[in-house]
Structure 1
Amino acid sequence: MTIASAPSALRRAGRRLLTAAVAGMLLATAAVTGTSAPAQAAGYTGPHPGTFTGLGFDTCTAPSDAEMTAWRQSPYRAVGVYIGGVNRGCAQPNLTREWVASQQAKGWRLFPLYVGLQAPCTTYLRRIDPAQAAAQGRAAADDAATNARDLGLVQKSTIILDIEYYDAGDAACSAAVLQFSSAWSARLHDHGYLSGLYTSTAGGGLQDHVAAYGKPGHVFPDMVDFANWDGVQTVFDPTIPGTYWAKRRMKQYQGDHDETWGGVRINIDSNYLDLELAPTRYRSAVVRPTR
């Protein structure tokens, strides 16, 4: 299967990088008007997203502070923000340390996303070099941790690596992705952050990480964020064994649609999160020299 025939369950930052022909395959948008009463805000200052069960949304560019206030009328209580990466598809004029502090004061949980180098067997311009996969994974984690600190995201926050769809069955490609991802997780642990992985239930990403789970020498992500646009709000998926990432899962269950809450319309992906703050698996927050 080529990237042109890949499933539509792609996170929005990756979709911004696709050709017009591929983008045309995505789901049609549908407007939804919210009518529920405003929810009471409660401040939050801990790790993001931390321990949380409920609905979240992500959109390519972080909404304004006023838009986030309006969306307190929605059923969503978590928001995905794209904090960096060479393949990040949208500018982030609103995403500042002050914006993060303001959303925390309103009670929002954040799930930070990082769109770095993509699988070498895709057509993305910026891809993992199999000969440098581990070094590139460490460099991506260094950059992500710097961005997270600059935004005021405290340690033990989870930074999610966005790996878009790639074909299953290419052993060299899979090996490069796993080396990159393992180095990413290990390096984030050095910085005191937890690691996440976004991938699709189709293609190689989820299959490869399930197969590598618990293998000696592989540092698996602390949480998994998987896309399956079936509209079902659950974190169960038959491709993931029940003991893998238990209470450390997030599902993107609907993609690329419009919703309106508090009079503000935003194009979003919808997510269901079922998370408990993972036990600390890293040794310290001291960063080893780059190798």
Structure 2
Amino acid sequence: MTFPQPPQGPGSPYGDARAANGDPHLSWHQPPAPAPTLIPHQAPPTAQPSPVEGEPGDAGELPLASRTMRLVARTTDYLLTTALVLPLWFLAYHYIQAKATDLPTKVVRDAFLDVVFGRAGEAQRAPLEAVDGLWGTTKTLLFLLILAHLLVPTLYDWFMHARYGRTFGKIMVGAKVVPAGTPAAAVPGRVPVGAWRAGRRTLVAVVLPWAAVLLTWYEIALREWGLAGLFALVSLIGFLDPLAVLGPRRRTWHDRTAGTVVVNVKMLARGWSATRNASTAVVQGARGVRERWQSGRASAGRSGDPT
């Protein structure tokens, strides 16, 4: 008695009769070999893309200068520019004293100081008004001194940032201004901030707030309280601008206006690049693991092919 034989061959769902230990009667009882399966819910490791240099919202593309560094640098620059203007005050005082030859030196000095510190009421400025034209000359000199206090910091801030990307204060603390999106490799070199970009930055950081502050002082010295109050309101720009440094990218209004960031050059030179390279190595390692996983999956699929 013979048993019917099922279809055989490579395409048969019952397998090949020759593969069942040489027994043709048992081969068709064997179920087809299941294809190798992967572990459920297993996903290949994915490599995270490296951060894009200068991408908005990415605070990790460059090491940013701290608030303390920026405050120290700005204070140093103000002290430096003020020291450059101080000799003009002595020249102005001696000029007024030379005009008031009939007045005692102490009277002229006290009247001049009263005007400077905003105490120039009618009684305090009477000695200057007693000399023909001396009070008008004093007001003109005070206005010119205000211009000097404004022009010297403005030219200094604009030229240093446009030419070098950093002032003496920033050089001292290790900070540098660069356009947003500048690659880390280019920061140690000469990054062109540009005259137009530096001019916009200086306009918001120096010209507007300090012009208002100095004009407020000038009107107080002349006892013009209405204009003094108006300029005082405008001067709030100078006090509110640094508060923007509290943001994640530490960009003040003048940074946003000019499209710049202030970088911590010391951190960049010491360890930030090493950290960056380590991060890149991790990303590349993850990509290698993923490629090996995909290669092993393809090999397993080929080994389970019934052909």
Q: Normalization by structure 1: what TM-score?
A: 0.21
Q: Considering fraction of residues, name the structure with more strand.
A: 1
Q: Normalization by structure 2: what TM-score?
A: 0.21
Q: Considering fraction of residues, name the structure with more helix.
A: 2
| Bigger radius of gyration among the two | 2
